[in-house]
Amino acid sequence: MTTAVAARERAGSPALPPAGKRSSLRLLAHQVRYEQVSFWRNPQSAVFTFIFPVVFVVIMGALFGGIGKGSYFGGLSALQYYVPTIAALSVLGSCYGQLAVALAARRQAGILKRIRATPLPARAYFAGLLAHCVLVSVIDIALIVVVGRLYGVPFPSHWLAIMLTLVLGAASFCALGVAVASLISNAEAAPAVAQLVLFPLMFISGTYLPIHSALLNRVSGWLPVRPFNEALTGPFAQHAGADWRDLAVLAAWGVAGAVVAVRRFRWDPRPE
């Protein structure tokens, strides 16, 4: 180590001030700020990721707003059912969908390589993305809850459980989004692949309609979307706290996604 330092001093490499203590937090805020600016100015991301779930809950409210509590919706009213599942859908879109598509596109354009050439640590880049995605999800869910209130769905009471589920779900689906972006090399294919995985998964997980097949429910219970739907539905509509079993399944998927992401993520558009 000393020899390396001596070599650098000989080499005339300029000494730089050490990184400050608060610098990681400031760096995170810096990253989130520019991710937010990019996101809101891009009509595609703003409309498809952000507006779509709000429009969806408005339409569902118009269609089924009058349907009261019943066994078809598991003892809930239609909108009590749809508010949390559409909230979950908005998290899927802003975390999984957004990252799978945006990272594949940024890699292909060489933007990731350019970022890799700066001193920005990889963990700061991903922490910034995660915080950005959580922020978008939180705003989206707040809007969905407000629309739900207009259709007579009461505000949820277990905020702590909701926040816990939301952050865990956002982190897990971000990890899965990065994993998918790591496995896709062609940015043009990214939106199709991401949707191809997501759409059937959401369907069998009851995002669009309640599923009354025990077999399907058992299968989807081990996949990431249904546990997330249920973990949100509990504290949203049934005044129940966190559902630990669902959260554990969700976390396991998040860890699996993170492992794939860490092992396979590439910054460079061309393979080594």
Partner 1 sequence: MPDAVAVSGLRKSYGRVHAVRDVGFTVGYGEIVALLGPNGAGKTTTLEILEGFRSRDGGTAEVLGYDPGERSSARELRERTGLVLQDIAVEPYLTVRETIARAAGYYRTPRGVAEVTGLVGLAGLERRKVRSLSGGQKRRLDLALGLIGNPALLYLDEPTTGFDPAARRDAWQLVRGLRTAGMTILLTTHDMDEAQALADRVVLLSGGVVVAAGEPAAVGGRDAERARISFRLPAGCTAADLPVPSHSANGMVVVETGMPTQALHRLTDWAIRRGHVLGGLTVERPSLEDVYLELTREVAPSRAPERIMR
Residues that bind partner 1 (CB under 8 A): 4, 7-14, 16-17, 19, 27, 30, 34, 37-38, 41-42, 109-111, 113-114, 116-121, 267-270, 272
Q: How far is the CB of 56 from partner 1 (least distance, A)?
A: 25
What are the beta bridge partners of residue 70?
76
The number of beta carbons lying within 10 Å of the beta carbon of residue 30 is 14
Contact 178, 99 (CB under 8 A): yes
Nearer to partner 1, 23 or 157 (CB): 23
Residue 142 vs residues 14, 36, 168, 188: alpha-carbon distances, Å: 49, 17, 17, 32
Tokens of 165: 């589920």
Nearer to partner 1, 42 or 213 (CB): 42
Q: How far is the CB of 181 from partner 1 (least distance, A)?
A: 16
What's the rounded Cα separation, in Å, for the pair 239 and 251? 22
Nearer to partner 1, 158 or 266 (CB): 266
Nearer to partner 1, 66 or 110 (CB): 110
Report the half-sphere exposure of 150 (CA within 13 A, side-chain side): 12
Nearer to partner 1, 38 or 213 (CB): 38
Q: How far is the CB of 21 from partner 1 (least distance, A)?
A: 13
Nearer to partner 1, 5 or 160 (CB): 5
Q: How far is the CB of 189 from partner 1 (least distance, A)?
A: 18
Q: How far is the CB of 68 from partner 1 (least distance, A)?
A: 45
- Angle between helix axes 78-91 and 225-237 (nearest 10 degrees) is 130
Listed in sequence order, the residues at least 6 apart from 7 whose beta carbon sits closer than 8 Å to its beta carbon are none
Q: How far is the CB of 122 from partner 1 (least distance, A)?
A: 10
Nearer to partner 1, 35 or 246 (CB): 35
Tokens of 82: 């749809």
Listed in sequence order, the residues at least 6 apart from 144 whose beta carbon sits closer than 8 Å to its beta carbon are 53, 54, 57, 83, 86, 87, 90
Q: How far is the CB of 50 from partner 1 (least distance, A)?
A: 14
The number of beta carbons lying within 10 Å of the beta carbon of residue 143 is 17
Contact 190, 184 (CB under 8 A): yes
What's the rounded Cα separation, in Å, for the pair 260 and 175? 9
